[in-house]
Amino acid sequence: MPHPLRNRLLAPGSFFAIHKPVGMTSYSVVNQVTKVLKQFVKKNQQNIALSSKTKDPPPKFRCGHLGTLDPNASGVLPMACGFATRFINYAKMVPPNHKVYTTTITLGKSTSTDDQDTDTTNYRVIREVDMSWLTREHVELHLKTFIGDIEQRPPTISAKRIDGVRAHELERKGLMTGQLSQPVQVRVDDLELLSFKPGRLPEIELKVTCGPGTYVRSIARDLGQQILHQNLGTHVLMEDGVWFYPEYVPGCGAVKTLRRDVSNGFQLEQCIELEEFLDVFGSDNNNTDTASRVKDLVQNRFQSVFETMTHMDVIHFDDLKNDGSRSKKALEKRKMLERWRHGKWIWTDDKSKLAVNTTVQPNSKSDDLVRLLVDDTFMGLGKRQPGMPSLVKRVGPLLQYE
């Protein structure tokens, strides 16, 4: 097995994205991916062994995801494997700093979970309201009020903690109410109405561009409630002839389908289908075709930590290997590396008396964070001293498994 494959799986590991299917939790996807990759590494451990230069034992193989995706949603689930799992918090900062969803919403329908996943424990339809009068213009008008920094109440079925307990756990026990879930501040960058299907329960298709932590199900619930309250006045006539106040209705919109198209810099087209991933890495065949499929996936769909953090500047120390072992320059560079490993400040300009080439990425979104290369070897992430950009020290994990 080629050397690059060894580095992609273990040291320093990789980031990649799985196309999560509907009906699976993010946790179960991580478990399945970890299981097949761990077996793959074990089966090829002689070829994936770490460099003989280090006496350290191989790191424990692990995988993790960069953000939960609801079981009833499909789409981009960014993941990390190997040592890259220790850089997950930095990968979450990769621009664009938003997520993009495509969702189908049924208006006029209220459910206990703000979606229409009937397999969810305690799922129930609260009420349905005839909204056959609704037009596309009505919807577009109200969508504008949801753009910007807004407050929204998370769904009862969510991972939000209430007094240390997940909201979905309280819901399963019948203890969750809307009053328990406190509003949170979120950011919605854009809401694009892709299609409108009129009827008693109208359906709309939205493209939602939002910041981390935004609940699309809450947008669906609140959008329906706002349309009822502001367009029909104080009272709404239900089909059975009973009048009620819309401000007391717990929403009047429910998500029908939800797909995440962009997350943490990963696009939907970059994803690996879960079934394909499990088939390629879980195959027992050691033939040329299987090896070729593994190589293709790893080279084209896996990203190293260095490749993932493209929004950070690069500081490049050259020619370490070309210095004489006892030269003053080599000693200074080794001393610099020791300071770096111990998390101390180092100079990256002429004051360091070292050959330095700093490459600035265009439109950098993290001016204080950098990537350090020494002889084209990635040494980890650094943070600039505020007000003194030439002073940098290591942040995050130490890449001891180079």
- Catalytic site positions: 70
91 CB neighbour count, 10 Å cutoff = 21
CA distances 132 to 138, 173, 192, 338, Å, are: 12, 36, 22, 70
Nearest CA to 94 out of 265, 313, 349 is that of 265
Instruction: List the alpha helices (DSSP H) in 118-196.
Output: 136-143, 167-172
Residue 197 host element (H or E): strand 184-197
Cα-based distances in Å from 254 to 118, 259, 375, 385? 12, 15, 55, 48
Would you call 90 helix, strand, or coil by DSSP?
A: helix
User: Where do runs of H (alpha helix) occur along 190-287?
Assistant: 216-232, 274-282
* Strand 73-81 relative to strand 388-395, pairing: unpaired
Task: Tell me which residue has tokens 């935004």.
Answer: 214
Closest to 154 in 3D by CA, of 27, 25, 68: 68
- Select from 233, 261, 253 the least CA-distant residue to 146: 253
